[in-house]
Chains A and B, each alone.
Chain A
Amino acid sequence: MAYTNIAYVLAAVCFILGIKRLSSPKTARSGNTIASVGMLIAIVATLVSFELLDFRTIAIGMIIGAMIGAFFATKVEMTQMPQMVAIFNGFGGGASALVAAAEYFNPANPSLFNSSTIAISVFVGTLTFTGSFIAFGKLQGFVSGKPIVFPGQKPLNALIAIGLVVLGVYTVLYGDSDPYFYGLVILSALIGVTLTIPIGGADMPVVISLLNSYSGVAAAATGFVLLNNGLIIAGALVGASGLILTNIMCKGMNRSLANVIFGAVGLEQVTPGSGEGKQISVKSASTEEAAMILDAAEKIIVVPGYGLAVAQAQYAVREVADFLEEQGKKVLYAIHPVAGRMPGHMNVLLAEANVPYEQLKDLDAINPEFEDCDVAIVLGANDVVNPAARHDSSSPIYGMPILDVDKSKTVLVNKRTMNPGFAGIQNELFGFDNTLMVFGDAKAMLTDLHKDLKNL
């Protein structure tokens, strides 16, 4: 047993070193390898040190799981990474809940501590499982990406929460009474669904980060059930990671976590902003005109948004940027923290298209750069470049940190239509004197723009 614990400490050290190496893209890949070695150590140590293990069951489970995991890991498109992470979170939470459930049925005498940790682990794990599947469904389009709200939703959630507390206490006190336990599982599954369905597409970065955190908390709780340091340390690391990301995402939207979870922005809560009713007259430009403007520019900043991912336009934008750079122009990318559907979504897409990571700048680094920028190209981003966030206190996005694209000499905005952004508000940027709209699918527009640039 002592050796096993040493192995778990070793595994934990590998996880910590692995995450530490994620502090730079140069060392990140080796960090991931170190973390996976840590996992291997933990698994092998467990297999050799526990007696009476059912090796046949374990082998079958591992082979099935490895095949499914490897299949999705190699097949998934980078644009689908948010739903991939969502569903993996779900499996992690589910695994923790199942382990705790198996422990519940363990004939050994449970202590009060043991049964309380089982209840917590089953609750968090099951909630993570169902919540993640709803998030996956929303991102994949199986479930409407719009917030789903209905009358009495909040009272219903409150009722489920009360039920959970009651059943949790009963499960702990009457450890041998299965109906309470099953009730706890069902209500946990239900609240995972009811907490996730009212959250809209653009708030997904928060939800995925939060579910990521929960999957860690669930693992740590299971560690308390089994009194296993390996699970506790790894779970605590993941829980902390998810929590930090959740916080960064909330700051990126200037909203509290409670507001994201219970606010259902984009539906009932949006009060008409002062921009409502004011017709914005926009100037539209063809790709030829856009090409001429870019030809005269020296410094260009590309602002990608979820529209870029939807159109799979990451390669097209790289080709345009390469062409412009060959002409001696400077090209940078401005990445808003909540651009896309998960933290870092845009960075991964652009990395896939071989954009060097030095060119990807975050909000604080890029905003001063707009002052002397000749052309900002906004690709499928909307709310993150809406100047109303700076001055219009009646706007639902008021106070949200935005990218100051309007400070550039010219702003080219590519959108498919004039439909307002996710927050349901018109973007005054589109009517600015220095803004030109280039309508069309991002990929098609960029391909045309590339041709027009070459023909100049």
Chain B
Amino acid sequence: MDMINIFTVFILAIFVGFEIITKVPPTLHTPLMSGSNAISGIAIVGAIIATKVGGELGSWLGLIAVIFATINVVGGFMVTDRMLKMFKRK
């Protein structure tokens, strides 16, 4: 049951993704990439959990994963904000 639920969520999320992303204008494609990139930093949630699960080796892997994912999250959202505040009207 768990697996079916989780597949349902996955498939529905893909459809939602296609719906909302096709509406992003070409002007904002670079911020879309860097912003969605920051969102893929959600792996940080897994990284946090990973620090406890796998014994010593696992927690080292978890530490590196936390570093990588945080770079992704912090860097991604910050650089997207930096870009988006440049887009001005006349």
Contact = CB atoms under 8 A, between A and B. Distances in A.
A193 interface: no
A450 interface: no
Nearest to A360: B27
B75 A69 contact: yes
Interface residues of B, number: 79
Nearest to A84: B79
B83 A219 contact: no
Contact of A85 (B21, B30, B78): B30
27 contacts: A15-B39, A19-B17, A19-B20, A19-B35, A32-B84, A54-B51, A57-B63, A58-B51, A65-B72, A66-B74, A69-B76, A81-B83, A91-B68, A92-B41, A92-B43, A212-B36, A216-B39, A218-B43, A224-B6, A228-B45, A230-B45, A232-B9, A240-B18, A240-B21, A343-B32, A344-B27, A348-B83
Given A92-B68, A231-B42, A344 B31 contact: yes
A356 interface: yes
A50 interface: yes
A96 B48 contact: no
Contacts, number: 378
Q: Which label, helix, strand, loop or mixed, suits the secondary structure of the B interface? A: helix
Given A12-B13, A19-B35, 10 more contacts: A23-B25, A25-B84, A85-B30, A91-B68, A98-B47, A98-B64, A99-B49, A105-B57, A113-B3, A223-B46
A58 B60 CA distance: 11
Contacts of B42: 11, 39, 42, 219, 230-231, 234-235
A231 B27 contact: no
Contacts of B20: 16, 19-20, 23
B88 A98 contact: no
Given A70-B74, A91-B68, A231-B46, A52 B52 contact: yes
Contacts of B89: 25-26, 356-358
Contacts of B28: 22, 25, 28, 344, 347
Contacts of B13: 12, 232-233, 236-237, 240
Scoring A224, A230, A241 by chain B CB atoms within 10 A of each residue's CB, the highest score goes to: A241
B63 A241 contact: no
Contacts of B82: 73-74
Contacts of A165: none
B70 A28 contact: no
Interface in B54-90: 54-55, 57-59, 61-90
